[in-house]
Chain A
Amino acid sequence: MRDEILVDIQHLSKLYPVETGFFTRTNLFVHAVSDLNLQIYRGESVGLVGESGCGKTTTGKLLVRLIDPTEGKIAFHAEDGVVDVATLRGKALKRFRRNVQMIFQDPYESLNPRMTIYDTVAEPLDVQGIGTLPEREERVAELLETVGLTPASSFMFRYPHELSGGQRQRVAIARALVVEPTFVVADEPTSMLDVSVRTGVMQLMQELADKLGVTYLYITHDLAVARYMCQRIAVMYLGKMVELAETEELLHHPQHPYTRALLSAVPVPDPTYKRKPMEIKGGISKPINPPPRCRFYERCPIADDFCRDNDHPPLEDKGGNHFVACYKV
């Protein structure tokens, strides 16, 4: 399972110009994602975690080519050869869309309120001209049953406002899976759902991954959810990936000071458990034209002059496929 690369991300960056005035051109940029490198293997699911604004969604959108990267390459290993996602266009882009799909965070906003569930789920088949009409209907019905909307016939022709949040998110999952993609970017698919419904959706996504061999990039700000959904976890801080390791390894032996602070701040649903406190200074800000040094320097409790005077540390293997970007570990 760990041998075949599906997505190979090389030096991926995305800068957004900062809007200042109406006519003034600026040279201020938000470095939403900068110099990201990551290999995703076929069949695994990788978690991307980090605080709000660290660039998780931007990364996800780059991978499905909703936005164009400023720099870098995303090699996608499709059945019929390797493509560079960043330069796809026309027919090739359309073919790529059959392989790669995305699930969005907000189940209330990601379904068109004027389209029935059938139309929404069949849309990818429709725009890509897959199958005949009866075939599409059959496929949609089958998929709705798979995601737990049974009987499919009673859901097919409802509108989104007639469904609960959990049901809508199931529809969104069905839409993403209808073209049988190999790779799915899931952007916080359960963060808007209630606990009692959330586990159902999480389990569904896992079952489908096993059954259909889907590879996920699972974006979340919740480490506990990532623990259950992912084999590996990548931690991002202000556009940079700071740590990458197997899930349990990362949770039990976090090495980057940011990961350690993050883990120590996660509340635990057990009143007798005492967390090891690890405080860091200040709050997260926007990476607008950041200095070249380590992005975490300002808040880091263990930083020294070396960190201040050098570039952002490279992501290095510290043994056992545990990658950390820090000079001090």
Chain B
Amino acid sequence: MADFDVPKIKEDIIVPKIHPGIMEQSGPFVAKPEHQKDLGYPEKLLDNWQEAAIEKMGELLKKYRSLKVFMDSCVKCGACTDKCHYYLGTSDPKNMPVARQDLFRKVYRRYFTLAGKYFPKLVGAVDLTEDVLDDWYNYYHQCSECRRCSVYCPYGIDTAEVTMAAREVMASVGKGQKYSNEIIGKVYKIGNNLGLPEPALIDTLEGLEEEVFEDTEVEVKYPVDKKGVEVLLITPSADFFAEPHVDGLIGYGKVFHQAGISWTLSSKASEAANFGLFIGSYENMRRIALRIREAAIELGVKRIIFGECGHAWRVAYSFLNTLAGPWDFLDQRYPIPQHIIEFTYDLIQKDKLKLDPSENDHMTLTFHDSCNVARGSRMGDKPGGQFELPRAVIKAVCNNYVDMRPDTIGEGTYCCGGGGGLLTDDLMEVRVKGALPRMTALGQAVEEMGVTHMAAICAICKSQFSKVLPYYGFTMDQIVSVHQLVSNAILLEPGQKNEPGSNSDD
């Protein structure tokens, strides 16, 4: 099935002995000139790349307190060494968070600190050579920017911040990553990651409407670019046709329908994901975020709601106000932006949805906390709401729910293995191996508690799991969308119309 050894699921998550260099050759395709150009980066590796990289490092160290403080503060205590799923899955020591940071830190020490300038051997400082650049490229693309390490570091050192900085440095000297940069280019040109143009989008959604009508005999609408409605829904483009994503999208539509709240998608901002985060580029992240602002203004909506997408929700929750605010033209009575889970949760609390959880009785569910939702965002008004709300929604629509073991969920959740710009076929080995801890925990839940399906609220998690589950002896349909479960359980009344402009959820 694969041209690499797929790890076996063991009884427990095991911390392996180190095997230096084992993943040294694993790197993603380098961005082609056109991918680089669209984002304002040099088309190929600059002749003076070394000089330019050092200069860029200096710039970032002045712009980001996180980077500066993290470079100086690590004491090499080793607490993070067994916390990264890529280390646990590959046993390559450069996938230990501290060692990953050190690839950057060693160069930082050499060029930006006295100790490294005069005593490089003593403090482990190195010149920025071609070999070092290769290591950077390969190992900074074996990090999903999941922030698990930052939970366990006594100084909160977040390797994701270092990874982003390193990727930004590499892109700006001409060595960007094909996958992320190509996708960002599509967002600029077409509006979404998949490069799905407006007519195709409309077509797809009409197809969905028909499908839902056949299923339920209810006219649930999936509108695009409808002006003057209440809600603009921003959702990952995978929701338009990938499985199980699309079942989630069907679910959002049903929830809006039953709540009687008018909504629309936007063809201009037909993508929730913001890959600017992955490549660590504030400018690109901002440019992508501004599409949402423009769409909201053009469509004259009052609220913005995000669909199920992990990194997108981090950018939306934590950064959207910074990048594209202020949002003074939206209805201030609702959180800006709001997550679809928060929205559905509120409706359930207010008894506005008719649900029959027995519709999901053929499944026993567990929930995979997506890394960037868990450690980079919140839902509701209390810390930890990002764990409680999705579970509350699932429990309202399913009778059989159990959690996986506690150290693998909540703030300690393991990444799916495909986040942070790694969801590409050229990184399959890393993706499969990085999924090992999650697969182990899932395996335990299957064995001990009879779990049949795992729900997630992230487009990347869903795509990654549908691909990776079979490597570990599961089936690809064992991953489901949370709103797919809602969709199954929701009881629509034939004849009930979605009245545009009506606003009855408060």
Does B bind A?
no
A residues engaging B (CB < 8 A)? Answer: none
B residues engaging A (CB < 8 A)? Answer: none
